[in-house]
A and B are shown apart, each in its own frame.
Chain A
């Protein structure tokens, strides 16, 4: 809509002001609940009241040399690198088909829970399927994941998981 007359704009401004006041009062009224509110409450507590996690996980760059290399039709491009995580984009003919990653689970220990029920192994390491992720846990600490985009089949994910240098990752102190 275009404001063609001043009165229309004044009216809209009044309506907006009313909405702004309502928004300003969001702390005294109720916001729509979110399924992620519990995480919000937990993670805004003082650090000493939060579940303990390793604040200084291993540098993400440590994992880089163990990533799969590009091969015919496929490229591997590093995308994110922070403490405890390194991630790359796997593309086939220029289209992203999966995210490849290695993480230090001491930064997010709840990620270990799913391995308790693991009955399968890939490359000798316990493996799990979680959503689009196919992951293995190396040395009880380092999680190696292929997160498949729609259309990237599970056997392909397992194949790429084994292209990581899992033995090299196991040798990280």
Chain B
């Protein structure tokens, strides 16, 4: 788990760079939902909507206490968001440059990119979807008294959380896998051995319900099944296509090539949208909880 304070973690959310440009380019998918709220104190000001300094102090102090109490689940949620984020590896240097607020040339790295095989990418896609549900429960508990209440809470997805799901669908689903990405996800959740050899799965397996790999993958299948129709509707109702996504990304990021699976791999390796928006969701929810407790 991170040894940084929550103050540092939120202060270090970048205000520019590849990840921010990617998320801006996806605004057309969920218009106006995502603002790049950065900075610990600023996050408190934005979500409390007040300039009462004593109140801001009390909320911030409470957030710090809540985060540092490991039994609350917030540290684990952050770790899950970070683990789901597969950026790095070969293009680590490019990702580093992006943190400095620079953009990285697509063509300059084309020869270093190897798109993941569809079988491997579809496992990543289902895992990222399921980690989203795990993080939701770590952060929010299971709100309400019924399944209906819980589904209603999930239905409230908005802002940074909705943007993250939009990015999962676009960057980890539709772009690399094409229009059949949900069917590929359906097929993936029967391949237990592929999960067992997946680096993200091996790291997070202990947080997935189930006694062995078969039952854990079974849980992933159920969880994925519970949101795949929602994702299908998300894509259909917005008329999302690979070409449409790339067209929008191109307004922000210098992509001069049309090899769509390479574009997906490039974005996967040079951005960390999952962790970026994950920290924003975590910070917002802790601020809102602290507002109840001060």
By a beta-carbon cutoff of 8 Å, the part of chain A in contact with chain B is 1-4, 9, 12-13, 15-16, 19-20, 31, 34-40, 42-44, 55, 60-61, 64-65, 77-82, 84-89, 99, 101-103, 107-108, 111, 130-133, 143, 145, 147, 149-150
A84 to B65, CA, bound (A): 15
Residue of B nearest to A4 (CB): B105
Residue of A nearest to B100 (CB): A16
Whether the pair A85, B105 counts as a contact (CB closer than 8 A) is: no
Residue of B nearest to A44 (CB): B68
Whether the pair B152, A101 counts as a contact (CB closer than 8 A) is: no
Q: Which residues of A contact B57 (CB under 8 A)?
A: 35-36
Q: Which residues of B contact A31 (CB under 8 A)?
A: 8
Residue of A nearest to B56 (CB): A131
Given A36-B40, A132-B55, also A43-B68 (CB < 8 A) = yes
Given A3-B108, A64-B145, A131-B55, also A79-B291 (CB < 8 A) = no
Whether the pair A79, B40 counts as a contact (CB closer than 8 A) is: no
In addition to A31-B8, A87-B289, 8 A-B residue pairs with Cβ atoms within 8 Å of each other are A36-B41, A39-B64, A77-B149, A79-B156, A79-B288, A81-B140, A131-B59, A132-B48
Residue of B nearest to A31 (CB): B8
Q: Which residues of A contact B97 (CB under 8 A)?
A: 3, 9, 12-13, 16
Smallest beta-carbon distance A164→chain B, Å? 13
B contacts with A, residue count (CB < 8 A): 56
Can you list 21 A-B pairs with a CB-CB distance of less than 8 A? Answer: A2-B103, A3-B102, A3-B105, A16-B97, A31-B8, A34-B11, A39-B61, A43-B64, A43-B68, A61-B145, A77-B149, A78-B143, A78-B153, A79-B288, A80-B143, A81-B140, A82-B73, A85-B289, A86-B143, A108-B62, A149-B49
B144 in contact (CB, < 8 A)? yes
Q: Which residues of B contact A108 (CB under 8 A)?
A: 62, 65, 293-294
**Which one of A4, A131, A133 has the greatest number of beta carbons of chain B within 10 Å?**
A131
Point out the residue from A19, A34, A85 that lies within 8 Å of B40, measured CB to CB.
Answer: A34
Q: Which 5 A-B pairs have the closest CB atoms?
A: A131-B55, A101-B292, A78-B143, A78-B144, A39-B61
A149 to B50, CA, bound (A): 9
Residue of B nearest to A34 (CB): B7
A77 to B160, CA, bound (A): 18
Whether the pair A99, B145 counts as a contact (CB closer than 8 A) is: no
Given A36-B7, A79-B140, A80-B140, also A19-B100 (CB < 8 A) = yes
B229 in contact (CB, < 8 A)? no
By a beta-carbon cutoff of 8 Å, the part of chain B in contact with chain A is 5, 7-8, 11, 40-41, 48-50, 52, 54-65, 68-69, 71-73, 93, 96-97, 100, 102-105, 108, 139-145, 149, 152-153, 155-156, 254, 285, 288-289, 291-294
A20 to B93, CA, bound (A): 12
Q: Which residues of A contact B64 (CB under 8 A)?
A: 36, 39-40, 43
Residue of A nearest to B51 (CB): A131
Whether the pair A82, B144 counts as a contact (CB closer than 8 A) is: no
Whether the pair A87, B292 counts as a contact (CB closer than 8 A) is: yes
Q: Which residues of B contact A82 (CB under 8 A)?
A: 72-73, 140-141, 289
Residue of B nearest to A150 (CB): B49
Whether the pair B156, A35 counts as a contact (CB closer than 8 A) is: no
Q: Which residues of A contact B93 (CB under 8 A)?
A: 13
Whether the pair A80, B141 counts as a contact (CB closer than 8 A) is: yes
Residue of A nearest to B152 (CB): A77
A13 to B104, CA, bound (A): 12
Residue of A nearest to B292 (CB): A101
Whether the pair A40, B292 counts as a contact (CB closer than 8 A) is: no
Q: Which residues of A contact B294 (CB under 8 A)?
A: 108, 111, 130, 133
A9 to B110, CA, bound (A): 15
**Which one of A61, A79, A101, A149 has the greatest number of beta carbons of chain B within 10 Å?**
A79
Whether the pair A40, B7 counts as a contact (CB closer than 8 A) is: yes
Whether the pair A99, B140 counts as a contact (CB closer than 8 A) is: no
Whether the pair A107, B293 counts as a contact (CB closer than 8 A) is: yes
Whether the pair A16, B49 counts as a contact (CB closer than 8 A) is: no
Residue of B nearest to A50 (CB): B65
Residue of B nearest to A145 (CB): B292
Smallest beta-carbon distance A150→chain B, Å? 5
Point out the residue from A43, A81, A87 that lies within 8 Å of B288, measured CB to CB.
Answer: A87
A131 to B59, CA, bound (A): 10
